Structure formats: C-alpha cells, structure tokens
Amino acid sequence: MPNPMARKTLGRINRTYWKHEGLGRATVTVAGLFLSVLTLLMAGFLAVKGLSTFLVDHRSPLEFLFSTKWSPDADTPAFGALIFIVGSILLSTLALLISTPFSLSTAVFVSEISPDLGRNILQPAIEIFVGIPSVVYGWIGLSVLVPFLRKSFGGLGFSLLAGSLVLALMIFPTIASLSADAFRALPADFREASYALGATRWQTIRKVLLPAAMPGILTGVVLGLARAFGEALAVQMVIGNMIRIPGKLTDATVNLTSIITMDMGNTAMGTPWNDVLWTMALLLLLISFLFIVLARMTGRKRRAVR
C-alpha cells in the first residue's frame, strides 16, 4: 500500500526519483518477475520433454494415465503409469494424515502454549529437521525403520507404511512452521475477546484460533503435500519399489519419483522409455500445481467468509 506521500513522489519523474525510488523498485521487480520466468521456463522444458511421449512416440495419454501395464523392456513395450500414480497418491495422503495432527499440535504449542520454549527449543529443532538431507532420512529408514516394521508387523518391512512414516517426518517441519506462522499472524483481539467471554485456552484455540488460522494452515498442508509428492531418494529407499498397487499398509509399493530416479540414468534420452519418465515428471508438476490452485481457492473462500 503506497502511502499518499510516496505516491506524490512517484509522480515526479526525474533523476532524483530514479535515484531514490525507481532504481530500487526496478531491481526488485525484475527479481520478482525473474522467478515467474524461471517457473515458466521449467514448466515449458518439462512440457516439451514430457509431451513427446504422446507427440513423438504416439502413445495414448489414456494408456499412460489409466493402464496398469508397465513393461518398458518387452518387445512390444507398454507404458501404463497408473500404478505409480496411485502409489504416489497413497503415500502422500497417508503421510499427510500421519503428520498433520502432530504438526498442528506443535504449531499450537509454539504459538499459543509456550512461545518461549517454542522460540528457543522447538523452532531450532524444526529448522534442523529441515536441514537434514533426504539421503540421511532414507538411510535411517532403511537401517532402523524397515527392520523394526518387519519385526513388529511381519512382511518385508519395505512398505507403504515405511514410506509414509519417513515422508510424514520430512513434511512435519513444513506444516508445523507454516501453521505456527498462521497462528502468530492472528490479531491478539481474537484471543482476548475469547478469554473475556470466559473460554479456556483450549476452547479459544479450538473454536476461535484454529478456524481463523485455517487458510494459513491449509497453505502449509499443501506445501507439505507437494513436498511429499516430489520427494525421491528417501522414499525410494524404504518402499521396496514393487510394481503393483498395494493391498495393505505393509505391502511394498512404488511411486512416480522412485521410478524416475531408478530409470532416468539408465535409459538414453530420446527413447520412448526415457520420454515416458519425463511425462511422469510433467505429471508431478501438474499435480502439485493443481493442489496449489485448490488450496488457494479454499483459502480465499474462507477469507471471504470471514
């Protein structure tokens, strides 16, 4: 919101204006636009590579999306990606279900219960979790979580459950810190008004703060979901990569990023097999994009109601 004074200055186009306002403004605007251009570039690049499955190799989009037949090295290859798509959806949805309650609790704790402990202990802890490389998560999953699951639930240990747990931990910081921001951004009036009406702290959190912070929380959830969808190395190490749709939690499964990481380096660029991997990458982009748009719509609706 430029204030009237600044606006007046804006109107006077001269050297002083350029020196004190225009140059800086132009610089940051270019930087902002650069991000958009970069995204468009990436999207364009993915589109060109990804669409060649359909345009150059003349495979059917319906086969790609809805066929479970994946036999890329057969004499008459089939490139149905449904198994991978379902795997990705299952893994990230489960991860979200596991992670969100814990993330929200931590966010509430940091912003409402004990901001001091939150700032001095939890916030740094969350930041360190973000910094832990996904290779390390995957490796912990492989050497600790998988054997543990095998002992306690039977099966192989490599499973949908293992993948979801590792993912849940990885998206925890994203959801927790963004939700905490959403709570913190609420005006103090909300809390005071609620307390004045005799509500307890929990009632205030549940009935007043949680609904009010929902748009921000949703943003966090969506970004967490996006991270879960795109995560590759850690998940691939613990899900077993069995090419079939899992029947239960302890079944091994496979997802889009796993098949991309496993086959990308070993297939030559420009072959139909390689092209279909790019199509999957394009699909990943489209899915995250869809989620982001959806979340913004819900966020906006809620804001409008308020």
Considering the complex, state which of residue 74 and residue 196 has its C-beta at the smaller distance from another protein. 74
How many H helices and E strands in the chain?
16, 2
Q: How far is the CB of 48 from another protein (least distance, A)?
A: 10
Q: Which residues contact 180 (CB under 8 A, 6 or more apart)?
A: 106, 107, 110, 111, 118
CA 91 – CA 85 distance, rounded (Å): 10
Q: Please state the φ and ψ torsions of residue 177, each to the nearest 5 degrees.
A: -75, -35
User: For another protein, which is the closer residue by CB, 55 or 185?
Assistant: 185
The residue among 261 and 298 lying less far from another protein, judged by its C-beta, is 261
Element (H, E) at 71: strand 70-71
- Distance, in Å, from the CA atom of 188 to the CA atom of 170, rounded to the nearest integer, reads 31
Closest CB to another protein among residues 79, 212: 79
Tokens 């994009």: give the residue: 289
Q: Least distance in Å: CB of 6 to another protein? A: 4
Going by C-alpha positions, the residue among 176, 231, 215, 182 that lies closest to residue 295 is 215
28 vs 193, beta carbon nearer another protein: 28
State phi, psi for 58 to the nearest 5 degrees: 55, 45
Smallest separation, CB 155 to another protein (Å): 10
Alpha helix locations (H) across 56-114?
61-66, 82-108
C-beta of 145: minimal distance to another protein in Å? 12
Give whichever of 90 and 254 is closer to another protein, judged by the CB atom: 254
Helix axis angle for 210-230 and 82-108, nearest 10°, is: 140
Closer residue to another protein (CB): 46 or 85? 46
Beta carbon nearer to another protein, 66 or 289? 289
Q: Beta strand 70-71 with 78-79: parallel, antiparallel or unpaired?
A: antiparallel
Is residue 119 a contact partner of residue 215, using CB atoms and an 8 Å limit?
no
Q: Distance (Å, rounded) from C-alpha 298 to C-alpha 290?
A: 13
CB contact at 8 A, 205 and 281: no
* Measured distance CA(235)–CA(260) in Å, rounded: 12
> Minimum distance from CB of 94 to another protein (Å)?
18
CA dihedral 63, 65, 69, 74 (to 10 degrees): 60
